[in-house]
Structure 1
Amino acid sequence: MSICPIIHTFDILLWFIIAANVAYILGFALTIALPPVKCHFTTSKRLQSFLILIPAYHEDSVIAHSVETILHQDYPKELFHVAVISDSMSTDTNQLLASLPITLLQPSFQKSSKAKALQFAMSTIESPYDYVIVLDADNIVASDFISRLNAIVQPSMVIQCHRTAKNSDSDVAVLDGVSEEINNTIFRKGHNRIGLSSALIGSGMCFDYHWFKTYVNELKSAVEDRELEALLMKQRIYIHYAEDIYVWDEKVSNSDNFQRQRQRWMSGQVQAFCQMLPYLPKAIIDGNINYIDKTVQQALIPRSILLILIPILCVISTTSYLIWHTSYTVPLMWWILLFCLCLALFVAIPKQMRKQSLFPKLLSFPALVWKMVLNIQKIDRNNTDFIHTKHGQ
């Protein structure tokens, strides 16, 4: 029995699996050409009150500057309040934060996580607010950040702001920033274009205060944004992507930090998929499209791995044809798939970034992909340990 038909069948099956991933990315990248779905915001004359939560774990190098920018808002001071959850930061940093007009919380966790920090804050702060904003310790916002949020907030809707890179001090940081913008196009802007909920990022998020206080205690993993998405989708609460409200975020500047960050994301993706899968049949029966879509997202192969895997398979498939003269359509199908993936990523990169000189930065790309491949063996869907990404290094 010839082994060629078996290899051919396996090649076809693998092609369909990877093609499904590419089709998802390309489909949502192309939706940005559609006109935006009009959101009818209910305007209110009353200014809303906001509680801004900033979990900070070993963030001594960036937290003070971030808090200062948030405090300098053009919004009435009595209608917003900043609370920093200081976890494992130095005495000097805590003394500096204590001198600012904020609430400084200093919990002591046996195992630290962002979810635990948020839970501690919501259980400690008694004053009621209308909305909760979650920011990271390295985030920077403009002076009209809260004013612009106030103009669009709705109790029945969650807002994800446009998180974007604030630094480009290394090739890794530039590529990380490009990756963030591709995610914004595909998983946020592209989804909203056809009426689907945006994905959450983990910071620059705005929730109804009472909803957040009720459900924050259900967070258990190290990827709280994915858990929040699942809770929101079950309740059919829409996530609006506020493309013009920016949150500047520090991107990782070296490959080791990149590897730690992606290890957390990859493990979280597997954990989220396993948590969401049992509810999927009910979502299908109920026609909960947003929940189905978010579950599919957790099953996607990371783009950077696709960018390495597909060219390798193109070469293997083409070589096998030249040696064994197998069907000519299979190599062609792989090359078409590679073209579609490159097209999707090109479309998803904002125009202003395309004008930058990205090609020299791509020299760092193979090493970063290798770091991600190494992370695959470290994925543990039962692990809930928090993997910290260092900032300001």
Structure 2
Amino acid sequence: MIWQILHIIDITLWVLILGSVAYVAFFAVISLFYEKEDRVAIHAAALTNRMTKFLILYPAYNEDRVIINAVEHFLEQDYPADLYTVAVISDHMKSETNEYLRTLPIKLLTPTFEKSSKAKAMQYAINEIPETFDNVVVLDADNVVRPEFLSQLNILCSVYDAIQCHRCAKNANNDVAVLDGASEEINNTIFRKAHNRLGLSSALIGSGMCFNYELFRKNVFQLSTAGEDREMEALLLHQEVFIKYAPEIHVFDEKVSNQDNFQKQRMRWMTAQVQSLMSNIPKIPGALIHGKINFVDKTIQQALIPRSILIVLLTGISIFVTLTIPQWCEKWWITLAILSLSLFVAIPKEIRFRSFSKVFTIPGLVLRMLKNVLHIDRKNTDFIHTEHTT
């Protein structure tokens, strides 16, 4: 009897974990196929020479270390200066930082929020800037882009109402930063590139995002949590707005380089994931009835076990079962091998081997993530700030 109970537990746990592994493996394979892109429409848009008017939003909470560098780089755009407006929403930044920003050709907004959040900063900007625009770009305070950034976006904006650019690492100064950068690229492969190749919407990532201005204005005031990107994504998918991933338009983002910041960042992400899952589940029946496949897929994503936890969990279980009940261990090792191969494929070739060489850093990071699980409050909407170190 005891062996039957143990076997049921073993199979149940394996099936639960297999669901997350299968999702990752499926989209890792899809990413290898040639992308079917509407190149005719994009080429036609390029020939029209239509010039989009952009509003660039930099929500900046206590970002004195990085905001000036990011804004100065952005102002080097090869796009007409009268067709884009850079707005920095300076929240709890030093007076000397604000004084310097006022010398630049930008709009500086200085709200005083009782409880700060990125959503509130964006809402404030839309209310305070009276001009109308064609598109809105949202960037983090540490994001750096190339001079051709807006010129590239201008072409895609004629075809798509929502675009997620390719956010990638601008630093790899230690093991944590390398792994964080690799994790970002895996997300780009699985949740963005592979999804578009199947005709599904890309996931949003919080920065490097571009939206039709009226679409953004309509939805930004419905955001209320610290996971504003997941909220925005769910709103767009429920409205059946397709999100395009633009792998050739790079946004360079600072990766966390110490374990404390890693834990803070993952705490924010895990809280947002739980909040998004709980918010989306009641809408699933309606989404299924109306064939909103993208919304259903997004809800499934929120239910997945985080990959780093999957790696450590599968490795630990495989070893434990091998030592205690070896006749049950084969399926665990096969599942671990599938996950490892899928992640290997999902990481770009140029950083693949460097990333896998840092694998022994993962257990310590996972322990910090597991501590976060005990403190997740799905009703908490407080903003968790991750400090920048460069």
The TM tier, using the shorter chain, reads over 0.9
Partner of 2:96: 92
Assess if the C-alpha contact under 8 Å between 1:263 and 1:372 holds in 2: yes
5 Å matches for 1:125-274? 125-154=129-158, 156-274=160-278
Rounded Cα–Cα distance in structure 1 between residues aligned with 2:233 and 2:374 = 26
User: In the alignment, residue 389 of structure 1 is paired with which amino acid?
Assistant: T
Amino acid corresponding to residue 118 of structure 1 in structure 2: M
**Is the Cα–Cα contact under 8 Å of residues 227 and 272 in structure 2 kept in the other structure?**
yes
- How big is the shift at 1:363? 3.2
Q: How does 1:304-319 map to 2 (within 5 A)?
A: 304-319=308-323
Of 382, 386, 391, 2:388 maps to 391
Equivalent residue in structure 1 for 2:57, among 53, 60, 68 = 53
For 1:115-126, what aligned pairs fall within 5 Å after superposition?
115-126=119-130
Preserved contact between residue 178 and residue 355 of structure 2 (Cα < 8 Å): no
Q: Secondary structure at the match of 1:126?
A: coil
Secondary structure of residue in 2 paired with 1:53: strand
Q: What amino acid is the match of 2:78?
A: D
Provide the rounded CA distance (Å) in 2 between the counterparts of 1:155 and 1:241: 12
Distance in 2 separating the partners of 1:357 and 1:267: 26
Amino acid at match of 2:363: P
Q: For 1:343, give the aligned amino acid.
A: L
Give, as a single letter, the amino acid of the residue that structure 2 aligns with 1:371.
R
Find the residue that maps to 1:48 and give its secondary structure.
coil
- Once the 2 structures are TM-superposed, how far is the Cα of residue 156 of structure 1 from its aligned partner? 4.9
Q: Aligned to 1:151, what secondary structure does the other structure show?
A: helix
CA distance, structure 1, for counterparts of residue 354 and residue 333 of structure 2: 27
1:371 corresponds in structure 2 to 368
Tell me if structure 1 keeps the 8 A contact 2:66–2:388. Answer: yes
CA–CA distance in 2 between the matches of 1:284 and 1:334? 33
Deviation sequence 1:148-205 (CA, Å, 0-9, x none): 0001113753110000000111111111001100110000011111110000000000
Q: Distance in 1 between matches of 2:280 and 2:383?
A: 20
- Distance, in Å, in 1 between the alignment partners of 2:63 and 2:371 is 27
- Range that drifts further, 41-50 or 191-200: 41-50
For residues 15 and 356 of structure 1, what CA distance do their matches in structure 2 show?
A: 30
Matched residue type, 1:380: D
- Partner secondary structure for residue 236 of structure 1: coil
Larger mean CA deviation between 28-37 and 125-134 belongs to 28-37
Secondary structure of the corresponding residue to residue 354 of structure 2: coil
Q: Is the 8 A contact 1:283 1:291 kept in 2?
A: yes
* Equivalent position to 1:303, from 283, 307, 319: 307
Contact 1:172 1:252 (8 Å CA) reproduced: yes
Correspondence for 2:16: 17
Q: What does residue range 73-112 of structure 1 map to in structure 2 within 5 Å? A: 73-112=77-116
TM-score (norm 1): 0.96
Q: Does structure 1 retain, via aligned residues, the 8 Å contact 2:179–2:355?
A: no
Q: Is 1:36 aligned to 2:35, yes or no? A: yes
Work out the CA distance in 2 between the residues paired with 1:263 and 1:90. Answer: 26
In 1, the alpha carbon distance for the partners of 2:79 and 2:312 equals 47
Cα 1:156/1:166, change in 2 over 3 Å = closer
Secondary structure of residue in 2 paired with 1:356: helix
User: One-letter code of the match for 2:55?
Assistant: L
Structure 2 CA distance, aligned partners of 1:337 and 1:392?
Answer: 37
> What is the CA-CA distance between 1:241 and the residue it aligns to?
0.4
Q: 3-state DSSP class of the match of 2:316?
A: helix
> Take 2:159 and 2:356, find their aligned partners in 1: how far apart are those partners?
41
How many Å apart are 1:124 and its aligned residue? Answer: 0.7
Identity of aligned residues (%): 54
C-alpha change, 1:357 and 1:210, in structure 2 (3 Å) is closer
Aligned residue in 1 for 2:7: 8
Q: Which amino acid aligns with 1:45?
A: N
Counterpart in the other structure of 1:380: 377
Alpha-carbon distance in 1 for matches of 2:13, 2:234: 29
Q: Kindly tell me: are residues 334 and 261 of structure 1, through their superposed partners in 2, closer, same or farther at Cα, counting changes over 3 Å?
A: same
In the TM superposition, what is the alpha-carbon distance from 1:362 to its structure 2 partner? 2.7
Partner of residue 339, structure 2: 341
Q: Residues 160 and 244 of structure 2 are in contact (CA less than 8 Å); yes or no, is this contact kept in structure 1? A: no
1:362 and 2:365 aligned: no
Question: In structure 1, what is the Cα distance between the partners aligned to 2:116 and 2:302?
Answer: 24
Q: How far apart are 1:33 and its partner, in Å?
A: 1.5
Letter in 2 for 1:353: I
Shift of 1:355: 4.3
TM-score of the pair, normalised by structure 2: 0.97
Alpha-carbon RMSD? 1.1
What stretches of structure 1 of length at least 5 have no aligned partner? 323-327
Q: Residue deviations 1:192-230, cap 9 Å, x none? A: 111100000000000000111111100000010000110
**Separation (CA, whole Å) in 2 of partners of 1:269 and 1:107:** 28
Aligned to 1:325: none
Q: For 2:156, what is the secondary structure of its paired residue?
A: coil
Whether contact under 8 Å (1:155, 1:208) holds in the other structure is no
Query: CA shift at 1:46, angstroms?
Result: 2.0
SS at the partner of 2:388?
coil
1:282 alignment counterpart: 286
Q: Give the 3-state SS of the residue equivalent to 2:57 in structure 1.
A: strand
Name the SS of the counterpart of 1:277 in structure 2: helix
Query: Is 2:351 aligned against 1:353?
Result: yes
Aligned-partner residue type, residue 245 of structure 1: I
Distance 1:155 1:38 in 2: 12
